[in-house]
Amino acid sequence: MQEEKGSIMAANVKIEDIAAAFRYVGAVPGDLVLYHGSMKSIGYVEGGPQTVADGVLESVSPGGTIAIPTLWYTGKLPGRSREVDFSIETSPSWNGAMAEAVRLDPRSIRSNHWTHSVSAIGPRAAELTASHGKGRMYPSPWSDTAFAEISPWSHLYEWNALYAFIGVDMSSCTMKHWIESRYVSRILDLLPDERRQEYRDMLRHDRQTVGICFGIEGPKMQHYLESLDLIRKTKLGKAEVIAIRTRPMVDNMLKALTAAPEKWFPADFLAWREKVLLETRAK
Ligand SMILES: CC(C)(COP(=O)(O)OP(=O)(O)OC[C@H]1O[C@@H](n2cnc3c(N)ncnc32)[C@H](O)[C@@H]1OP(=O)(O)O)[C@@H](O)C(=O)NCCC(=O)NCCS
């Protein structure tokens, strides 16, 4: 674990405090940084969530890009029930004021995906958000395009982005679902083509609450990555800021899930996995 040296404890948090905290946890000029966060966790931020965006942007300047999930579909909010109801221009995100600040910023570009869109500002924003959902699909409980081969989530991995949390833990980690999608697809790939869909259908899909859940726990994942000394931490106002590079996050988690799935997944998913392996061995 890194020492909490660059701690910022001032009552009113300013743009330079945000930039300093993000630099401390690893942001460098030209970087790509995605963040999740809670405004209230920080205390009073001068200028509100827009200042958070500007501060994170400052930490990667010159030449850097910032990104935040601007998730629309929840399964619970009225009027957010179908892909066709999503408007890239007007559909609000549910995941907090920081996300809305970036989505509404005239400099930002949003990816066109109704469950897992990302909004970004900076020179790589267009490339990051383009063609969300194209290429090979991967399983998720919401849609199999959310974490597709071509998606901001895949680019975050390919570009080894800095992935940060302000006052929230890895319960909020959307990248966790990308990891789950890759793990599950590796198992499905063991099956012959004609058997794959049947097994895919047994797992949670199409934003239904039925079907086998293949989620892992965010805090447990955080604890594990902390034990590998991969997470940097500091304070921003009253909040803890934590950050990790996306490649070590993903690579270490996929390794851990593969080595000991029983430590991570629910029992019904493990039974599903056993069934696939049995069928594969029987061939
Ligand atoms: C849910 C969540 C957003 C709630 O956090 P929050 O701090 O209560 O709410 P927001 O970040 O939306 O900020 C709004 C709050 O900031 C406060 N606020 C307004 N201006 C502010 C300022 N200048 N400085 C600090 N706080 C301010 C508002 O009063 C508001 O609180 P209220 O609702 O009690 O009035 C947060 O806990 C969380 O989970 N964030 C991550 C979500 C995510 O990315 N999930 C991904 C899922 S895969």
Output phi, psi for 218, to 5 deg.
Answer: -60, -50
Pocket test for ligand 1, best of 13, 35, 36, 39 (most atoms within 8 A of CB): 39
Pocket test for ligand 1, best of 15, 36, 40 (most atoms within 8 A of CB): 40
Residue ranges of E strands in the chain: 12-13, 32-37, 44-45, 65-69, 109-110, 118-121, 162-166, 232-236, 239-245
Which amino acid residue places its CA nearest to atom 37 of ligand 1? 38
> What's the maximum distance between 2 C-alpha atoms anywhere in the chain?
65
Output phi, psi for 279, to 5 deg.
Answer: -60, -40
Mean pLDDT, the chain, as a whole number?
94
The Å distance, Cα 39 to ligand 1 centre, comes to 4
The Å distance, Cα 60 to ligand 1 centre, comes to 23
Q: Give every residue of the chain whose pLDDT is below 70, as ranges.
A: 1-11, 75, 77-81, 283
Read off the tokens for 84.
């066709």
Q: Is 12 in the pocket of ligand 1 (CB under 6 A)?
A: no
Q: What is the pTM of this model?
A: 0.94
Query: Residue 105: its pLDDT value, please?
Result: 98
Q: Report the C-alpha gap between 185 and 137 in whole angstroms.
A: 9
Q: Is 61 in the pocket of ligand 1 (CB under 6 A)?
A: no
Pocket test for ligand 1, best of 15, 38, 93, 142 (most atoms within 8 A of CB): 38
Q: Is 36 in the pocket of ligand 1 (CB under 6 A)?
A: yes
Distance of alpha carbon 241 from the chain centroid: 15
Query: Residue 148: its pLDDT value, please?
Result: 98
9 burial type by CB count under 10 A (0-12 exposed, 13-18 middle, 19+ buried) = exposed
> Nearest 10 degrees: CA dihedral of 146, 38, 160, 107?
80
Query: Residue 83: its pLDDT value, please?
Result: 73
CA distances from 17 to 7, 42, 94, 167, 236 (A): 9, 11, 26, 15, 7
Query: Residue 132: its pLDDT value, please?
Result: 98
What are 139-186's pLDDT values in tens digits? 999 999 999 999 999 999 999 999 999 999 999 999 999 999 999 999
Q: Is 167 in the pocket of ligand 1 (CB under 6 A)?
A: no
The Å distance, Cα 98 to ligand 1 centre, comes to 7
Which amino acid residue places its CA nearest to atom 36 of ligand 1? 38
Which amino acid residue places its CA nearest to atom 6 of ligand 1? 38
Q: Is 44 in the pocket of ligand 1 (CB under 6 A)?
A: yes
Query: Residue 4: its pLDDT value, please?
Result: 45
